[in-house]
Amino acid sequence: MLTYTIGNYIVEIFDAKPNYTDFINQYDAIYIDDTEYHPASVVGVKIYRDEEQLKQVAFGASGGATGVFKSSVIVTDRIVCCCSDSVFCLSIPELELLWKTKVDTATAFQIFPLGKDYIIHGELEISRLSGLGEIIWQQSGADIFTTPDGTDNDFIITDEYILATDWNGRKYKFNFDGNIIE
């Protein structure tokens, strides 16, 4: 579980393990697409003010399963979180869904702020989203954007470029406009 203090609010973000027979009764709102598939991952969010819980919501998507990690969530004046193949944005303190964008064919691993935009490290695509959740650009490689040893050096953002390494060790250097520069 991740916990953030935003002004007078405490926000908890956690992996939700839904019991589908009672899932609807556990949350004030559920943001899951109405499809024939159960979501691969579900994230829960609780918000408190003065130790009183104000609201609890859940959201989920299909695609590859993910968990809640510090690198998969950005909390500022809103919550922006990777979940399966999508990125969700919720308002604070209402926890209303502002937008949801499918950003990868498989799984969205990490999210990074870039000014008012976001860079998403996905399994198959690297994406740049606007602050409104619109895809500005996406790039893919010859293989998945992770390596067999899964080091922190698989995906690096510097002040000048994005460096991603695929499963076979190929390196991709992108500028912030999504162009390959090496």
- The per-residue pLDDT for range 43-63, each reduced to its tens digit, is 999 999 999 999 999 999 988
Residues composing the chain: 182
Residues 129, 97 share a domain = no
Q: What is the dihedral sign for C-alpha 10, 28, 81, 69?
A: positive
Structural domain including 127 reads 106-182
Residues 112, 97 share a domain = no
Q: What pLDDT is recorded for position 153?
A: 79
Query: pLDDT tens-digit profile of 94-146?
Result: 999 999 999 999 999 999 999 999 999 999 999 999 999 999 999 999 999 98
Residues 170, 90 share a domain = no
Asked if pLDDT for residue 83 goes beyond 80, the answer is yes
> Which of the listed residues 51, 86, 102 is the one where a domain comes to its end?
102
- Which pTM does this prediction carry? 0.93
Residues 93, 111 share a domain = no
d(CA 130, CA 170) in angstroms, rounded, equals: 28
Residues 82, 38 share a domain = yes
> Which of the listed residues 56, 84, 102 is the one where a domain comes to its end?
102
Residues 21, 93 share a domain = yes
Residues 11, 97 share a domain = yes
Count structural domains, the chain: 2
66-70, 95-99, 163-167: which has the minimum mean pLDDT? Answer: 66-70
Tokens of 20: 């589908």
> Which of the listed residues 102, 137, 161 is the one where a domain comes to its end?
102
Torsion of the alpha carbons at 20, 4, 93 and 51, rounded to the nearest 10: 80
Residues 76, 22 share a domain = yes
Q: Which residues of 24-45 are buried (b: 16+ CB within 10 A; e: fewer)?
A: eeebeebbbeeeeeebbbbbbb
Confidence of residue 170 (pLDDT cuts 50, 70, 90): very high
